[in-house]
Amino acid sequence: MKNILLPSLLIIISFSLCFGQISILSSDLPKANDTIRMSVADPASISNFEATGTNYNWDFGSLKPQRQRLNEYKAALKTPYAFYFFGLTKFGVLIAEALNLGVVQLTDVYDFYDKTSSAYLREGMGITFSGIPLPSYFTNKDEVYQFPLEYGDRDSSTFHFTVNLLTLATYSTSGYRINEVDGWGKITTPYGTFDCIRLKTTLIASDTVNVGGSPTGFSNNSVEYKWLAKNQKYPILEIKGMGEGASYVVNEVNYRDVYRYVYDPTAVVADFIASDLLPNTKDTVSFLNQSKNALPLSTFIWSFNPNTIEFVHGTDENTENPDVVFKQPGKYSVKLEVISFTSKHDTTKTDYITARDAAGLNETELMKNRFFIYPNPVSTVLKISITKSIEEETAVKLFDINGKLIHSFSVHDTETEINVTSLAEGIYFVQIIRTDEVLLKMFLKE
């Protein structure tokens, strides 16, 4: 009896172990038209992630999302680069709507992929520079995954690509990746519990930026841990960082998730104010960005409805604080969209500006309704120029952004000034009051 039970028990155990190990195939990874929601967690909140083994249980159920994002896998034909990356199996993932790199402004930045039954391939990038879509192909394709992926598998591959920004600059990267399936078992996150394999990826890369014939090279090495499950399209958990062992530094934690409301105190919130809400059609109106959490190199996109405006003084629709002339009388709605590195937001102020027809005013009325302040922004002395057709006493008042009166005086001259050295940095308003009108303009103390 014992001799019969022992082989049977071994068979049952062997079957159980085999059953618990999954195999990741091409069909388990994203394809064109898939949309996948991810939650992003605080890198400091993850621990005990390097441990691995057979039939291992990884418990990350206490992870909390800081924000969420959607990965949209668009068919290549539905992207701005359809002419360059065509093929029914090819698809692109939007990396950034806009990237302000200081020297250059890039928009519609995509990574492009293809997959076969044996590999998941990164084929190239698409960027738009100065309105021109520019493709960049891997001369040596990056094999992100090789199928099937099973416990104990280990593979390596090399890659190389170059991005050309017309004649301005080039960016290239060369390197290799090592994939090792070093564990299997179950993983638990706020999304659920899944049978999984654990994949460790080591990326060794060298990047080169060449501007004006002066190349600069730097290392770009990283280590990624991914827990992959059947039919989930994206890792149940993905950890990205640098280093090894005790020196490993986590830079990013993403996990597959459902929609959750997440308040992100670091997310950008678009806002702005204008220097004049009732300008004449010949006046210049300064718009001041008041957005919260707009990181350096954020992208600003201004739009007006109707679009009968002109950007002046060297500004344009992507200038943080543009100057605008409204060319036709009427009401204008103003929209500002701000794209930061990790978030974006827009706000629209409907019928915000009412432009008056300067052509319908006689010279006396036109001149009477104008006064100027400069420089703006200002650090020491704010100069005020008051245009008027007759000599009259003018009251000049200075307010802070909360409406508190800071300074008040009267002048008879058309030119005066205020020393603002003692004021804190921020937004202020100058008001002039005459017998038949009250006018207001804004300035920034820096």
Return the CATH fold of 265-360: Immunoglobulin-like (2.60.40)
Give the separation between CA 62 and CA 72, rounded to whole angstroms: 27
Using alpha carbons only, give the angle 258, 107, 168 rounded to the nearest 5 degrees. Answer: 145
Q: For 246-274, write each residue's pLDDT tens digit.
A: 889 999 999 999 999 887 788 889 999 88
Picking from 213, 215, 62, 228, the residue whose alpha carbon sits closest to that of residue 146 is 228
Cα 137 → chain centroid? 24
Using alpha carbons only, give the angle 20, 23, 25 rounded to the nearest 5 degrees. Answer: 155
Q: Is the pLDDT of residue 409 over 70?
A: yes
223 touches 198 (CB < 8 A): no
CATH architecture for segment(s) 22-256? Beta Barrel (2.40)
Q: Do domains 265-360 and 362-446 have the same CATH topology?
A: yes
Residues 282-310, buried b or exposed e (16+ Cβ, 10 A)? bbebbbbbbbebbeeebbbbbebeeeebe
% of the chain with per-residue pLDDT over 70 = 88
pLDDT for the residue 271: 92
Task: Name the pLDDT band for 394 (thresholds 50, 70, 90).
Answer: confident
Per-domain boundaries in the chain? 22-256, 265-360, 362-446
Picking from 390, 363, 379, the residue whose alpha carbon sits closest to that of residue 426 is 379
Picking from 382, 262, 300, the residue whose alpha carbon sits closest to that of residue 311 is 300
Kindly report the pTM of this predicted structure.
0.65
Both structure tokens of 267: 């997310």
Give the separation between CA 249 and CA 50, rounded to whole angstroms: 12
Phi and psi at 312, nearest 5°, equal -130, 175
67 touches 264 (CB < 8 A): yes
Q: Is the pLDDT of residue 117 over 70?
A: yes
Q: For 316-353, write each residue's pLDDT tens digit.
A: 999 988 999 999 999 999 999 998 876 788 999 999 99
Element (H, E) at 44: none
pLDDT for the residue 11: 42
- Which residues lie closer than 8 Å to 321 by C-beta, 6 or more apart? 286, 287, 288, 289, 315
Q: For 236-251, write each residue's pLDDT tens digit.
A: 999 999 988 788 999 9
pLDDT for the residue 212: 72
Q: Which CATH class is domain 362-446?
A: mainly beta
pLDDT for the residue 146: 95
Q: Is the pLDDT of residue 41 over 70?
A: yes
Picking from 56, 60, 106, 44, the residue whose alpha carbon sits closest to that of residue 80 is 106
Both structure tokens of 62: 């206490």
